Amino acid sequence: MGNIKNVFTTTDFENITGIKAHTIRIWEKRYNLFNPEKTTRNVRHYSLQELQKLLNVALLQKQGYKISKIAKLTEAEIALKASHFINAKIENDYILNQLKLAMFGFDTALFNQAYQQSLEGSTFREVFIKNFTPFLYFLGELWHTQCITAAHEHFITNLIYQKIQVEIEKLPTNKKQADKPTYILYLPEEEMHEIGLLFLNYELKQRGFHTIYLGRSIPFDDLCKLRTISPVIHWVGIFTMTPVTPVVLDYLDQVNTSLVNNTHQFWAVGHNLKNIENHSFSPQIKLFPSIKAVIEQL
């Protein structure tokens, strides 16, 4: 548990909230908004409670409150005013803040509360696109800045994973039809980020398609054994961790040789795939920059 992050530097605050470190220091010095501990090297260390306060302050400022007015409020008053802004205009900001706090505090109850609030007047699909998708992008950015640990990521992504699974369980099981494609969804070997793939499975099943969900890190030889499972197959593989070249190009060469034919297509999904769009592939191999682009294709 010693690696769990419960204190934050000014740089952490900037990366998490988007507020410049210089601005945070001004708010601290001029308005006494925060009271961080300072090391012998004068490095500021903030608590999780102060992170929550900063997120609320940022939300109020975005809604037109002057920082001088916010500074006169108690911490409880700031939190109360921030909670009043849960409406269509800024709901995404509020929910995103709650998801951040749930992750850093390992707070399942707060996550569930934010999830239920986001569902009010929205479908699950809308919640995933409006709230979970930007949060997952934010999560990726935090990895690059080393603001979170693997424990943070696994905790929050597993909670999102569970919500998708619950929604999938509500859908009827669609039977395989000879004239319609069976979608086989999987992550290639070494690929572990499964939430986007699972959501795509939800979208396909909701539209009435028959799917076979294989999950993460599937060996290519195992895919080849499924070639006769349906007369029409759309293989869907997501690449998020694999380097684009030459690994993906080699992989697509294998796909071209062993998986696709007149009735079998391969859909490769990944934001880095735009770097290889100019390469010539079989027309049965289609490249998509995002899950959203795949859904639009459906």
pLDDT surpassing 80 at residue 148: no
Mean pLDDT: which of 128-142, 194-208, 233-247, 274-288 is highest?
194-208
Of 16, 37, 24, 35, nearest in space to 75 by CA: 35
Give the pLDDT of residue 141.
67
| pLDDT at residue 146, as a whole number | 60
Lowest pLDDT segment from 30-44, 67-81, 82-96, 192-206: 82-96
The average pLDDT across 92-117 equals 91
The architecture (CATH level 2) of 7-168 comes to Orthogonal Bundle (1.10)
- Crossing angle of helices 150-169 and 108-119, in 10° steps, is 40
Top pLDDT among 234 and 242 is at 234
Q: Which band of pLDDT confidence, cut at 50, 70 and 90, is reported for residue 1?
A: very low
Report the pLDDT value the prediction gives residue 85, as an integer from 0 to 100: 63
Give the span between the Cα atoms of 249 and 279, in whole angstroms. 9
Residue 43, pLDDT score? 83
pLDDT at 106: 94
Neighbour-count burial of 200, counting CB atoms closer than 10 A to its CB (0-12 exposed, 13-18 middle, 19+ buried): buried
- In the Cβ-directed half-sphere of 262, how many Cα atoms lie within 13 Å? 0
- The pLDDT, as a whole number, for residue 277 is 64
User: Domain ranges in the chain?
Assistant: 7-168, 182-297
Query: Which stretch of 181-195, 239-253, 255-269 has the lowest confidence by average pLDDT?
Result: 239-253
pLDDT tens sequence across 278-294: 667 788 999 998 888 89
Model confidence over 67-97: pLDDT tens digits?
999 999 998 888 778 767 654 445 567 888 8
Rounded to two decimals, what is the model's pTM? 0.73
CATH 2.40.30.10 fits 182-297, yes or no: no
Return the bridge partners of 287, or none. 268
Task: Say how far apart CA 19 and CA 261 lie, in whole Å.
Answer: 52
Q: In the chain, pLDDT over 90 holds for what percent of residues? A: 44
pLDDT band at 107 (very low <50, low <70, confident <90, very high): very high
Q: What is the pLDDT of residue 233?
A: 96
- Cβ 71 vs Cβ 32: under 8 Å: yes
Distance separating alpha carbons of residues 131 and 65, to the nearest angstrom: 24
